[in-house]
Amino acid sequence: MRVTNSKDVARTAVLISLALSAALLLSCRPQSEDPATQAGANDSGVARSNARVNVYRHSMDGAPTSLDPIHASNIYANFLVVNLYDTLYRYSYLARPYQLTPNLAESLPEVSADGLIYTIRIKPSVHFIDDPSFPDGKGRPIRAEDFVYSMKRHFDPAMRSQGNWMWQGKIVGLDEWKESGAHYAADIPGLRALDDRTLQIQLITPFPQLTHTLAQGYAAIVPSEAVSHYGSEFGVRPVGSGPFMLKSFDSTRAILQRNEKFRAEAFNLVSEGYDPASQQVFGVESLEGQAPPFVDRVEVEFIAEDAARWNTFNSGLLDFVKVPVTQFDRVLAERNPPRLKPELEQRYHLLANLESGFVHTDFNMDDQRIGHHPDAEQDSRNRALRCAMVKAFDWPRRNEIFYSGLGHVFPGVIVPITPEFDRKQSLQSITRNLDEAQSLLKRNGWNADNLPVLEYGLPSSVTERQMFEQFRSFMADIGYPEEKIRPLTFASYGDYARAYLNREVMLITSSWTMDYPDSENTMQLYFGPNASPGANNANYRNPEYDRLYREAAVMPESPMRTAIYRQMSQMVIDDCVSITGLSRTLILMWDKRFRMLPDRSFVGGYFLRFATDATDGEVPAVLEP
């Protein structure tokens, strides 16, 4: 009896195993049958991917969650959005410093003499891609009204836009439209389609950065039909008019394919800002007169883990990688300027891309233990304490340990990549001076006993913790007791952001990536009315700074405005509001068979349409490392 039972059990087990195997095989259906993943259908799977034709394989160190332009809040989403959709303007491919150029717009905007009215003509006969959301599935022409609709979405509370701050309080009637219920049929006086191809934007006060904002992914133009058709899934079903269209998208990769209907516009070296002296090496001059996009398919792999990204690049499955800092020694023969080792130089291009932003540590000026204080004497003592800490911070050491010595350390809040940056300014605020720091503490009555306990906020990660420990060791050098500098660790960046936006963190280490190449974008970080939960995380309040900000904010770029910005930056330095700053250098590496100039800054994803396979698919063998 028991033997029979055990046989039954064994038989049942075998049957279950067989059923399981069959189910597994069924679950592995060919990808071509699955619309969500069919982009991979061309891959044999076993065949090595370097045998593909006209495919460019890009990698990013993070992934977007949505491809809806109103959620293009990070470089990853923006990278894809500007390739799937059209924006009115973009940045010239090769021009440095960065320059705006028309994209869907025919020309740069006509601006009224008072700087309040912008008139923009869009190019004729530009169509959205074919999609089931349109009648008969045929993409219709883009109209000026589509831009108006796309802007309205930002101010529709139901859409939860992350980009509306760019135009909030700037365009006549737009905020009121939101307040009155966000009815799409209702007109907005400051945002009008004069005809199918002409737009007019009326500003409340001059906003010289408006054209820059129209080059952001946020300002991409979407068709209302697709938004209605796909509802909440519009974020993963993009319907645009950009150079590429989406084949598939998940948290690990996105596959784009050339939009065959993309308008044919000849590539022009001069208008793209070509500089033969520095850019001839990339081979882009051969593109003159040809119409982008030049590759048939783009595969974008989202690989956050440095080791996995580097291993994938080394295995020949990627054409482009942002080199992890841990690999700098392995790939660089020289650091200043960065140069690849000879064996890698044969196959790869290298570009040292200075980031369009900076990392810094703000003091929470709202915290009376270290920031603003109603009592003038204590306020002065707090300032002395902050200045002592600024002088104790060892920027070269921070740069060497965490950024491989390739970061650009600079004083103040005008970052090196902007035209307003002053290369001759004093470096005193970034030069470590322990004697002066200790003297400041002593003169202002600070000692180990009465120094306040500092709470240093950080999201949970090894690198952040190491940075904290280094910070604490710098402060220990001026006699700040280690037990008085405490980590305030948060499980995720979202939790950390919640804490500092609620003014619960004393020392806030963060990075800022600029939205456009105009220092107004960093100046607003210390503008009083922008205090938390706004972008002024330091909660800095200085009436003179605020007055200058208001004065400069309406001024177009000029030497006078630059002088004001520099004056404001000096105020941040003098008040010791922040331990600032460092712009990171990103080392970009790509296969030489691609003629292109990639960019992680303002050009961002716009470069993709100009990437071209020089071998037209004839791939050389993978070099051994």
Partner 1 sequence: MLGLAPDSATHRKALRNLLQATLLILGVTFISFLLMVYFGPDQTYTLIGKNATPQQIAEVRHQLGYDQPFFQRYGQFLASLFTLDLGVSHSTGEQVRTILARSLPVSLALVIPGFILGNLIGLLLGMAAAWQSGRWLDRLITTLSVSTMSISFLIIVIALQIVLCTPYGLNLFPARGWNVSGLSSYLYYVAVPTLALILTNAGYSARFYRAVFVQEAGREHIRVARAYGASPFTLMTVHVLKNSLLAVLTRIMFSLPLVLVSGSLLLETYFGIPGIGKVTFDAITNGDQPLLLAVVGLTAVLFVLVSLLADVAYRLADPRIR
Q: Closest CB to partner 1 among 145 and 156? A: 156
Q: Closest CB to partner 1 among 148 and 254? A: 254
Q: Closest CB to partner 1 among 304 and 333? A: 304
DSSP 526: G
Question: How far is residue 73's CA from residue 76's CA, in Å, rounded to a whole number?
Answer: 8
CB of 451 to partner 1, least distance (A): 31
Helix (H) or strand (E) holding 278: helix 276-279
CB of 9 to partner 1, least distance (A): 6
Those residues whose C-beta lies under 8 Å from the C-beta of residue 113, and which sit 6 or more positions away, are: none
HEC-encoded secondary structure of 78-91: HHHHHHHCCCCEEE
CB of 87 to partner 1, least distance (A): 18
CA 138 to chain centre: 33
Helix (H) or strand (E) holding 358: strand 357-363
CB of 291 to partner 1, least distance (A): 31
State which amino acid sits at residue 568.
Answer: M
Q: Closest CB to partner 1 among 123 and 178? A: 178
Measured torsion, CA atoms of residues 343, 346, 348, 350, in degrees rounded to the nearest 10: 80
In this structure, the number of other CB atoms found within 10 A of the CB of residue 218 comes to 27
Q: Closest CB to partner 1 among 436 and 504? A: 504
CB of 55 to partner 1, least distance (A): 13
CB of 302 to partner 1, least distance (A): 8
Question: How far is residue 486's CA from residue 98's CA, in Å, rounded to a whole number?
Answer: 41
Q: Closest CB to partner 1 among 295 and 497? A: 497
CB of 524 to partner 1, least distance (A): 8
First to last CA, the chain: 65
CB of 314 to partner 1, least distance (A): 5
Helix (H) or strand (E) holding 468: helix 462-476
Q: Closest CB to partner 1 among 116 and 182? A: 182
3-state class (DSSP) for residue 332: strand
Q: Return the closest-CA partner of residue 361 out of 332, 334, 336, 393.
A: 393
Q: Closest CB to partner 1 among 48 and 183? A: 48
Q: Closest CB to partner 1 among 169 and 405? A: 169
Contact 618, 591 (CB under 8 A): no
28 to each of 21, 36, 106, how far by Cα in Å? 11, 14, 49
Question: How far is residue 120's CA from residue 106's CA, in Å, rounded to a whole number?
Answer: 8
Locate 104 and state its tokens.
């869907």
CB of 106 to partner 1, least distance (A): 30
Question: How far is residue 66's CA from residue 80's CA, in Å, rounded to a whole number?
Answer: 10
